[in-house]
Structure 1
């Protein structure tokens, strides 16, 4: 039990260190793809590194012991009251909350799959376009891009699809699932929640940066961002168009590319 607590403490501490490094050094840089891999590898390193232990063998000369010094003819009986096992209580609490949160993620995932299965789909290039009828913000989930075309103009739809195609093509949904899984395992660490937000925010930066390269009018793209803000309903397990703070995304769209020497921060 002690080993389990020690492992969780080490992994949680490493998560915090990776997030703080990102927050203070990398979040304002425009190396979005590098930031993506930094954040994902940070999660994996945090759970794998504590499993590796450094061992050192030290040989100690044996010390002679005179067992005749001990009087074993009159054994002493000692009655000890067993202390309350708080570690067991904490472990059970951790397991119960973790299972509850995992079930919640599975339910959210099932609701997305059920929604996608019930809607009309059109095969386009490398993705399937799903026509929504609900007032949901546009979102992507692996090879599916879902949007309600009745809520947007043709120009807005073009910008939305350019954005979501990046999410779909680069499998950003996998990052979201991994982040949700880690939030389940490390629910007690507030930094994990911020870590997930950093992952999601950076994915939006990637999609914006690459979508704008194919957009004829950069201003119209930014207007589409603001337009989608009016649709506040979204599915948390997906890459949705209005996931991150719009102000930060627009600011980052108009930020100059980071200097190459800034990559030394990694």
Structure 2
């Protein structure tokens, strides 16, 4: 769901760039066929470009910094804890609500499209149809302005003069030949799945305008014809279009259409305006998905063995190592199992320190008292190093907080499965468990 939201944001920004360029640079040109192609291409590219990956990865750095703690292979599995969904119970998830709202929007828009199609086919079946050239004329009794859907033209011949009928049929035939209905269906489907994006609606309105300009341009051949055609347009100022899926001889665009008819033809050099969008588009593409990671000299970043990290608990009376890293007798199961960390026994409430500078990567809030790790923290360090501190009685840091070596991050407890208060410490290097004793000097702590 997060990926889809991110994709929707990227595609929306891309579509906004395309649409803004159209309104600022192209909308007033008389090259209407080019504008139609531009709008359709903009719609297609806006949903393709965010899918293109411009990321350049360097394996060496990726391994060091893309750290994931694999719990399925960790100490937690050895404790035979209850299933997470049983111990957590039901929790309200806002993502579920977002999914429901999104699905309702999709179903609503698709439902309207289906109902519009059904309505059109019912009108076709219920009325007289006459074949004229490549068009099927559907004679209706309603006083709607004439409209078309593919090669079907819907009109009321009783309210049209012979001249008007000829001009309207020519107009609607252009819609049919240029397949404007396919454009409208495609936009409606896009709108169904991206109904929350206002730019989609604006682009559809712009596309409908261009459709009308294309048809008008083909109908007007000379100055005399322009006058007659404009008069014909004014006859339908009060009429309404039948459906969002049809191309209509509609009234809401009358003034814009007349201005476009009167306008002098734009110079052919205006096509070169399209070049202006290339740098804008390139910047947008790179800002969406481009990221370059520089090579890192891992020798300088690696923390070598040799006890360079701080003890997580200060040496004092009662502090001792009760279970080392490696094969050991499990205190609960009473059989030999591999222990991926070190257990340090201490009094309840003893401070726990960060072994190195880093950032709190995970802070468990859904723990179950007496189960598994209990309260635990994972801190991400430089050099592909990460540390886990579990069995805490309480936290002293927040998720995402940056900590310094030696900062108190929490306090010893027995919040998970245990035989007494202690700290369970694990360290991972480049995603693999390592012996904490290779990095920390535990010589000051007594062994059990």
C-alpha distance 261-83 of structure 1, shift in aligned 2 (>3 A): farther
The answer on 1:7 being equivalent to 2:15 is no
Q: Do the aligned residues in 1 keep the contact of 2:128 with 2:138 (CA within 8 Å)?
A: yes
Distance in 2, matches of 1:240 and 1:84, equals 48
Q: Do the aligned residues in 2 keep the contact of 1:32 with 1:202 (CA within 8 Å)?
A: yes
Deviations 1:72-121 (A, max 9, x none): 9xx9x9x9899742222112211111111111111011101111122111
Q: Do the aligned residues in 1 keep the contact of 2:32 with 2:214 (CA within 8 Å)?
A: yes
Q: How does the TM-score come out when normalised to structure 1? A: 0.88
Determine helix, strand or coil for the equivalent of 1:184.
helix
Q: Do the aligned residues in 1 keep the contact of 2:240 with 2:251 (CA within 8 Å)?
A: no
Determine helix, strand or coil for the equivalent of 1:264.
helix
Q: How does the TM-score come out when normalised to structure 2? A: 0.53
Displacement of 1:264 = 1.2
C-alpha distance 40-244 of structure 1, shift in aligned 2 (>3 A): farther
Q: Do the aligned residues in 2 keep the contact of 1:200 with 1:243 (CA within 8 Å)?
A: no
Displacement of 1:244 = 4.4
Q: Do the aligned residues in 2 keep the contact of 1:160 with 1:241 (CA within 8 Å)?
A: yes
The answer on 1:148 being equivalent to 2:156 is yes
Residue number in structure 2 paired with 1:56: 56
Q: Do the aligned residues in 2 keep the contact of 1:159 with 1:211 (CA within 8 Å)?
A: yes
Determine helix, strand or coil for the equivalent of 1:136.
coil
Residue number in structure 1 paired with 2:22: 22
Of the candidates 158, 173, 185, which is equivalent to residue 166 of structure 2? 158
Q: Do the aligned residues in 2 keep the contact of 1:29 with 1:258 (CA within 8 Å)?
A: yes
Residue number in structure 1 paired with 2:230: 222
Residue number in structure 1 paired with 2:120: 112
Give the strand-richer structure, 1 or 2. Answer: 2
Q: Do the aligned residues in 1 keep the contact of 2:238 with 2:251 (CA within 8 Å)?
A: no
C-alpha distance 188-138 of structure 1, shift in aligned 2 (>3 A): same
Residue number in structure 2 paired with 1:181: 189
Deviant stretches of 4+, over 6 Å: 79-83
Name which of structure 1's ranges 45-54 and 107-116 shifts more when overlaid on structure 2: 45-54
Displacement of 1:136 = 1.6
Distance in 1, matches of 2:163 and 2:16, equals 42
Residue number in structure 1 paired with 2:266: 258
C-alpha distance 81-24 of structure 1, shift in aligned 2 (>3 A): farther
Greater relative contact order, per chain length (Cα 8 Å cut-off, separation 6+): 1
Aligned length: 254
Distance in 1, matches of 2:239 and 2:211, equals 20
Gaps of 5+ in 1: 64-71
Distance in 1, matches of 2:190 and 2:223, equals 35
Name which of structure 1's ranges 240-249 and 215-224 shifts more when overlaid on structure 2: 215-224
Deviations 1:205-261 (A, max 9, x none): 000000112896321111111102232352222001016410000000000011122
Distance in 1, matches of 2:222 and 2:154, equals 20
Deviations 1:36-77 (A, max 9, x none): 1110111111112222212323132788xxxxxxxx9xx9x9
C-alpha distance 233-50 of structure 1, shift in aligned 2 (>3 A): closer
